[in-house]
Amino acid sequence: MDLFDKCRNFTEARTAVKEGWYPYFKAIQSGAETSVMIDGRKFVMIGSNNYLGLTQHPKVLEAVKKAVDQFGSGCTGSRFLNGTLDLHEELEARLVNFMKREAVLTFSTGFQTNLGVISSLVGKDDLLFADRDNHASLVDGSRLAFGKTIKYRHQDMEDLERVLKINQDVPGKLIAADGVFSMGGDILNLSEIVKLAKKYNAKTYVDDAHSIGVLGAHGRGTAEHFGVEDKVDLIMGTFSKSFASIGGFVAGDAVVIDYIKHRARSLIFSASMPPASVAATIAALDILENEPERRERLWVVTNRMKNAYREMGFNTGNSQTPVIPIIIGDNMKTFAFWQELWKNGIFANPVISPAVPPGMSLIRTSYMATHKDEEMDYVLDVFRKTGKELGIIG
């Protein structure tokens, strides 16, 4: 026996490749639009988080080219040392105004944002209260923190209050959860969470990766959606979805952001966002602020697809957003469904445990403001036919 035996014994992926139903790591040969090229074939893309469809926007591409011409390809160091550009500070200042917060700090990825914020704030005498369906980055952030993590049942406010009440005498408490849960597409019950946080003297942290640009009258996310922006302590967002780039940020009180800035290891020991990514984010923010019709179109697309799936008889769970799961349950039937979609030129994402609870395997679909009516028509026709053939719908 040696360290690599576990690797040699891991045969599931190789078997799936050999049998022709391995669905992951598909190399795309074109831009992230509503249709993509893979192996020379055209696919309708319903598996992207490009919610506002900005990755190919001319203003975004122009900003990227200018940034490369001025700053080059990378920063070659961390924000803490030689990796801070005035471009980073411009983005943070813009986000302060957009998010209506005292301060903003950007990270190289959204994953690193959650790692850095959670691990730096939750010390050995503190408690983190986490929804059981939280994103992996929140989970890993809690593993790095010295404090104890207490999980509560997904979206169950009674269970959250139960564990808060048990630990009400602990002074350092943080409630952390996704604003939009990335697999189920349901929206965090933030109105109740802020009430419980106030009652039990806890702070709140909302991962708005799938909410910024999507929810709220101005696209500021879950807190704006519920009208509780002044009651949420920290809001995290990413640039790899509505902002058509890569990176992440946390927004909150200046004193808190300054502490994270000097304590978050994922910031201090990681190279900073490259200039092109920062410039793309700034350009996307311009479009987000000046073209509200994009967000309005996204909701037209979302509601059409969700209503159509439900009318066909598919189980879409509690989805309330552009993330619309088609819950199938059985792993192999989920892969069979994906395979039929693939054969018919549709790119979607099969998701099985542990990304979802056992027995809740699903096809994760997600939509863009730029999806065309004919693309949606085609997708719905294929889903209807496949669902009937596999006995998932009547």
Catalytic residues: 182, 210, 241
Residues 6+ apart with CB under 8 A from 78: 267, 268, 269, 270, 271, 272
Provide the b/e sequence for 265-296 (b: ≥16 CB within 10 Å): ebbeebebbbbbbbbbbbbbbebbeebeebbe
**CA distance linking residue 126 with residue 177, whole number of Å:** 17
Q: In what order do the strands lie in the sheet with 361-366?
A: 323-329, 361-366, 349-351
369: left (phi over 0), alpha (psi -120 to 50) or beta: alpha
Pairing assessment for the beta strands 103-107 and 41-45 based on DSSP bridges: unpaired
**Nearest Cα to 377, choosing from 34, 30, 31?**
34
Q: Sheet containing 35-38: give its strands across.
A: 35-38, 41-45, 346-347
Q: If DSSP codes are grouped into helix, strand and coil, which group holds residue 131? A: strand
- List all residues 6 or more positions away from 112 whose beta carbon is below 8 Å from its beta carbon: 248, 266, 267, 270
Which residue matches tokens 């009180």?
Answer: 253
Residue 342, CA distances (Å) to 73, 182, 338, 349, 362 in order: 35, 22, 6, 10, 15
Tokens in use for 233? 């302590």
Q: How many Å apart are CA 213 and CA 12, to the nearest integer?
A: 38
Using CA atoms, how far residue 333 sits from 55, 134, 351, 389, in Å, is 33, 26, 12, 11
Answer left, alpha or beta for residue 220, where phi above 0 means left and psi between -120 and 50 means alpha: alpha
Please state, in angstroms and rounded to a whole number, the distance separating the CA atoms of residues 314 and 355: 20
> C-alpha distances in angstroms, 141 versus 118, 123, 343?
5, 12, 38
